[in-house]
Amino acid sequence: MAITEIRAGVPSDWFVDPVRLGVPGVRKQTITEDDDALAWQGDALCAQTDPEAFFPEKGGSTREAKKICTTCEVKAQCLEYALQNDERFGIWGGLSERERRKLRKQAS
């Protein structure tokens, strides 16, 4: 079958731009980490879920948030951001504030 035969049945607007749709993991090629230090947040799985899971009440479970973090492709950037900015609340990069504090002490 020739390419022209295949194209004849395909609408001209068949392509859907994943960047325009906001598909996680897909960014415009012109944006780099240097251009936008927080660009990684667009790929964060937490941005697609309930934010309350990442900021539980005192004594609340962090299990759900940490489970989401285990498969997140920007987990390392998230943790690095939290450590650099001394985030005091919430789950960042799969770690709670207590775990991040312990990590900082170990690094000192």
Q: Binding site: which residues?
A: 46, 69, 72, 78
Query: Binding site residues for [4Fe-4S] cluster, as ranges?
Result: 46, 69, 72, 78
Short-list 71, 52, 72, CA closest to 62: 52
CA distances from 74 to 14, 41, 69, 80, 106 (A): 31, 8, 9, 10, 23
Q: Which amino acid is at 78?
A: C
